[in-house]
Amino acid sequence: MSPDRLRGDTMTSLSTFCKRFPLDLNSSSNPSDDVFASTRFVLVEPSHPGNVGAAARALKTMGFSRLIVVAPKIAFVTREPEAVAMASGADDVLASAQVVETLADALNGVHWSIALTARSREYGPPQMAPRAAAEKACEFTGQGQGGSPGAIALVFGNERVGLSNEDVERCSALAHIPANPAYSSLNLAQAVALLGRADATPVTTAPASPPSASSDEIEGMYTHLEQALVALDFLDPANPKKLMSRLRRLFSRSGLEHEEVNILRGIAKHILLKIKR
């Protein structure tokens, strides 16, 4: 992307941004209310307390409140003085942040997750433009089981190494914020702010559709399918190649529904039962 093109894009998003502010966070008529309430910002293995604090500040500024930190390099990172200082007035978001051990824990109950990556990946879920991924995410709010809002997660990687391929594969989509190709890596909190803005932008309400499967349901299905494929001798555990990665990619393109996951698990169960006979 040329520097001119980059400048043009920045101006466009800036004017969109200005037209939409101030956000009326108290108004129940704001179509993005569900999005604010049900979006989790997930930081995977952050190293620097200052970045965790700055990310809390960035997401609160954009109207969000839920921060989850996965396996931080410093155990009680949210209480570190540098984190508290960088959070500034977002100390409430920092204090209520959850610290969990794995990305799977952070995605429990999530229906749509976006992995943010500074570089492209060979494998992984389909890549979408940040705005398109955010719009898609909005379709999932209000889709949870039993009327609870469907949760959305924006997943950010470690400052030095980014997200692992395994973490990226756990997500429903992959997004890259267009940047200078020669230097495309944003600071963690800057990436949080930009995505928060894309996600907060109101979009038209999507028609109701059947409940989507949550991340933990989908992970359970992959485990079950893998067992069935091994039992069928279709997948060699000693030489798995990229079969499961390719299947993950295939299914993540389809936007699996709760019932569809049940069907696939039913198929896996019957394969295993038949082979055991």
Binding-site ranges for ligand SAH (CB under 6 A): 116-119, 156-157, 159-163, 176-177, 179, 184-186, 188, 191
Q: Which residue is nearest to ligand SAH (CB)?
A: 162
CB of 216 to ligand SAH, least distance (A): 22
Nearer to ligand SAH, 70 or 191 (CB): 191
CB of 141 to ligand SAH, least distance (A): 22
CB 64 within 8 A of CB 90: no
Residue 70, both tokens: 């996965």
Nearer to ligand SAH, 145 or 180 (CB): 180
CB of 117 to ligand SAH, least distance (A): 6
CB of 214 to ligand SAH, least distance (A): 22
Residues 6+ apart with CB under 8 A from 142: 34, 149, 150
- HEC readout, 177-225: CCCCCCCCCCCHHHHHHHHHHHHHCCCCCCCCCCCECCHHHHHHHHHHH
CB of 233 to ligand SAH, least distance (A): 37
Nearer to ligand SAH, 177 or 231 (CB): 177
DSSP state of 162: B
C-alpha dist (Å) from residue 223 to 130, 216, 219, 228, 247: 29, 11, 6, 9, 12
Nearer to ligand SAH, 66 or 224 (CB): 66
Nearer to ligand SAH, 65 or 165 (CB): 165
The SS3 call for residue 19 is helix
Closest CA to 56 of 99, 10, 105: 99
Give the number of C-alpha atoms closer than 13 A to the C-alpha of residue 154, restricted to the C-beta side. 36
CB of 115 to ligand SAH, least distance (A): 7
Residue 264, both tokens: 């696939």
Nearer to ligand SAH, 160 or 277 (CB): 160
